Amino acid sequence: MKKDKNVMNVIANVNWKDEIGVIAGPFQPTDTKQSWLSRAARKANVSVRYITSLYYGHVKDPKFSVASSVLSAAELARIEATRREAAQLASRFEITAEGLNAKDADFFGAEINSLLDAANRLRSMGGT
């Protein structure tokens, strides 16, 4: 019983607006607020009406199943964003290594190897 109260307290203190924003992603020039919220609803597998109510604060204490779906979708969105950033950083490392290789491969050999090793590690961690 005590554990259930703790879980419900955590759910009640979540900033739903931020979580929904993470799920929906950046607001595109072609988006309306409704289409943006609809994208979040699709990704979280929750009704648009419920997402809209959470976003605008009409529902302060959502059902556990809805809260769980929204929080899980937000976590997945954060993981995907981190993977994209890791892939971008790996690409930058590879481009820098290519530039150093073109400049003087003998002089910058250790740096080139370090950059390529870091890029490979980032790609293996990110699953890309």
Q: Are 89 and 122 in contact (CB under 8 A)?
A: yes
**Token pair in block for residue 98:** 């290519």
The whole-angstrom separation of Cα 112 and Cα 7 is 49
Q: Assess whether pLDDT exceeds 50 at residue 1.
A: no
104-108 CB contacts, 8 Å cutoff, 24+ apart: none
* pLDDT, tens only, 5-59: 666 667 778 999 999 999 999 999 999 999 999 999 999 999 999 999 999 999 8
| Residue extents of the structural domains in the chain | 2-126
Q: Assess whether pLDDT exceeds 60 at residue 123.
A: yes
> Does pTM surpass 0.85?
no
Looking up tokens 């003998």 gives 106
* pLDDT, tens only, 63-78: 889 999 999 999 999 9
The whole-angstrom separation of Cα 122 and Cα 128 is 8
